[in-house]
């Protein structure tokens, strides 16, 4: 019995030492390793409380009531670490003095990581549709509310049912000025039952800062979208880079892996180039936003071709009716050459990417500027070339399965040997 315990202890210690020897990689960072520091994400919800918010056309209730219910749901689901604030526009001045009405914006709840949900909900509950729609001034103040306190992402979520009524301060230009400051501030806009001109203005505001525009017709849509945008603030932002596609591949810009923005006219094709090394896989996707009224039946095309014009792969997505974004994507693996050991590896292949659309619009809709385009380009190791990706269909975890199988075999053999040896000793006595 003593011999059995000693051998069992020896076997256990040996196995633990084997596991600790570094054959199994650890994902626990050392305490001495520098940790990335980033401030908390900040979000300010900017709510239109102008007189038009009293209209009763959202699920049988007023726009204001729908917004209040949505805010209650959102405040109860704010992710930990997010600093949230609320600003209003048109909530306090009911008169006709334009100069006064166009200054009517106030912070209802300060941007803070110590959210008192009861206090915030109570403040929202007291709001009543009142005054003007000073979107431009409200955006300026909201950008100021988000300043200071680290380098975390900053997001403004604007909920309104109409255009700015305080021109000549153009809210779209205000958004451009905010973006030009170089601060990571994104403005997302939501239009409650908007008309064409409102939709155009809100799309312009969002596009100026890399944000999104969404049309909302139901309360649950509003709740879901605002929650989604607040949660998105916790994801590290990737700032897109402006580029300019050309009419043919020869003069097209050469893109590296990243996120790019461009504008494309209705029914236009634009070209870009990517250099793909042997053993790499090109992954590309494109999204085209229909930021104005368009005709039904449209599509977006993303196509990869060689410089000689031979098509490699394509994806085309069609749609009907009005949607905010249409996207397409493709993958192209470039296999390694057979002579990998040569001193002079083969040059990269230039792949031409064609982005096209089949949008059209009524005669009353302006076609300039073009439609917003977002193009994502990535280059990863091709599965056929990466030794750590596919092994008998087991993926990148095959080595762990093999190790566990081998460990079980060795342990079973040792235990069988130990049992036979113990029986032999017992018989001799």
Mean pLDDT for 94-114 is 93
The region of weakest confidence among 151-160, 223-232, 261-270, 339-348 is 339-348
What is the structure's pLDDT at 388? 42
Alpha carbon distances (Å) from 298 to 269, 295, 319, 402: 14, 8, 5, 51
What is the structure's pLDDT at 428? 67
Averaged pLDDT score across all residues of the chain: 82
What is the structure's pLDDT at 399? 59
C-alpha to C-alpha distance for 373 and 251, rounded to whole angstroms: 19
C-alpha to C-alpha distance for 148 and 185, rounded to whole angstroms: 12
C-alpha to C-alpha distance for 35 and 194, rounded to whole angstroms: 46
C-alpha to C-alpha distance for 264 and 358, rounded to whole angstroms: 11
What is the structure's pLDDT at 408? 74
User: What is the secondary structure of 410-423 as a DSSP string?
Assistant: HHHHHHHHHHHHHH
Whether the CA torsion 230, 233, 238, 239 is positive or negative: it is: positive
What is the structure's pLDDT at 294? 85
The region of weakest confidence among 87-91, 276-280, 421-425 is 421-425
C-alpha to C-alpha distance for 263 and 260, rounded to whole angstroms: 11
Higher pLDDT, 127 or 387: 127
What is the structure's pLDDT at 160? 96
C-alpha to C-alpha distance for 304 and 355, rounded to whole angstroms: 9
Q: What is the DSSP letter of 126?
A: T
With respect to CATH, is domain 241-338+345-381 assigned 2.60.120.380? yes
Q: What percent of the chain has pLDDT over 70?
A: 80
Chain segment 296-341, per-residue pLDDT in tens:
888 999 999 999 999 999 999 887 655 567 889 999 998 886 655 5
| Residue matched to tokens 């989604």 | 228
Other beta carbons within 10 Å of 226? 24
Alpha carbon distances (Å) from 296 to 57, 319, 343: 25, 8, 56
| SS3 of the chain: helix, strand, coil, percent, to 5 | 30, 30, 40
What is the structure's pLDDT at 14? 47
Q: What is the pTM of this model?
A: 0.55
C-alpha to C-alpha distance for 244 and 263, rounded to whole angstroms: 8
C-alpha to C-alpha distance for 388 and 220, rounded to whole angstroms: 45
Residue 136 C-beta-side C-alpha neighbours within 13 Å: 17
Among residues 174, 207, 173, the alpha carbon closest in space to that of 188 is found at 207
Among residues 230, 227, 231, 253, the alpha carbon closest in space to that of 242 is found at 253
C-alpha to C-alpha distance for 370 and 291, rounded to whole angstroms: 9
C-alpha to C-alpha distance for 166 and 159, rounded to whole angstroms: 17
What count of residues does the chain have? 429
CATH superfamily, region 42-232 = von Willebrand factor, type A domain (3.40.50.410)
Chain segment 133-154, per-residue pLDDT in tens:
999 999 999 999 998 877 788 9
Higher pLDDT, 398 or 248: 248
pLDDT for 349 beyond 90: yes
pLDDT for 380 beyond 80: yes
What is the structure's pLDDT at 40? 87
Provide the pLDDT confidence category of residue 36 given band limits of 50, 70 and 90.
very low
Domain edges within the chain: 42-232, 241-338+345-381
Among residues 350, 338, 331, the alpha carbon closest in space to that of 277 is found at 350
What is the structure's pLDDT at 88? 97
């Amino acid at each position: 019995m003593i011999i059995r315990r000693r051998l069992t202890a020896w076997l256990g210690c040996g196995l633990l030492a084997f596991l600790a020897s570094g054959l199994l990689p650890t994902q626990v960072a050392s305490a001495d390793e520098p940790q990335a520091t980033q401030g908390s994400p900040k979000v300010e919800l900017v709510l239109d409380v102008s007189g038009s918010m009293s209209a009763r056309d959202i699920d049988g209730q007023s726009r204001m009531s729908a917004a209040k219910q949505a805010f209650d749901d959102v405040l109860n689901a704010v992710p930990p670490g997010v600093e949230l604030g609320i600003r209003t526009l048109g909530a306090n001045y009911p008169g006709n003095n334009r100069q006064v009405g166009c200054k009517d914006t106030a912070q209802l709840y300060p941007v803070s990581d110590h959210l008192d949900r009861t206090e915030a909900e109570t403040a929202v509950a007291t709001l009543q549709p009142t005054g003007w729609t000073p979107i431009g001034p409200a955006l300026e103040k909201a950008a100021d509310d988000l300043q200071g306190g680290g380098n975390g992402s900053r997001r403004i979520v604007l909920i309104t049912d109409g255009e700015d009524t305080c021109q000549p301060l153009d809210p779209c230009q205000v958004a451009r000025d905010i973006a030009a400051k170089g601060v990571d501030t994104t403005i997302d806009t939501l239009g409650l039952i908007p008309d064409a001109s409102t939709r155009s203005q809100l799309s312009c505001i969002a596009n100026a800062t890399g944000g999104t525009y969404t049309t909302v017709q139901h309360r649950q849509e509003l709740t879901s979208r605002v929650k989604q945008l607040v949660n998105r603030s916790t994801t590290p932002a990737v700032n897109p880079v402006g580029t300019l596609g050309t009419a043919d591949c020869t003069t097209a810009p050469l893109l590296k892996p990243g996120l790019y923005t461009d504008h494309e006219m209705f029914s236009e094709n634009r070209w870009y180039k990517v250099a793909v090394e042997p053993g790499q896989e090109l992954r590309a996707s494109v999204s085209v936003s229909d930021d104005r009224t368009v005709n039904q039946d449209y599509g977006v095309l993303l196509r990869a071709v060689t410089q000689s014009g031979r098509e490699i792969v394509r994806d085309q997505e069609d749609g009907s009716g009005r949607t905010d974004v249409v996207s397409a994507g493709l993958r192209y693996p470039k296999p390694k050459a057979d002579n990998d050991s040569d001193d002079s590896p083969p040059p990269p292949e230039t792949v031409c990417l064609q982005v096209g659309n089949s949008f059209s619009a009524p005669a009353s809709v302006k076609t300039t500027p073009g439609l917003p385009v977002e193009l994502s380009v990535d280059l990863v190791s091709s599965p056929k070339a990466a030794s750590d990706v596919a092994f008998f269909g087991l993926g990148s975890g095959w080595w762990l399965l093999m190790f566990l199988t081998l460990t079980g075999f060795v342990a079973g053999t040792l235990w069988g040997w130990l049992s036979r040896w113990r029986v032999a000793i017992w018989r001799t006595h």
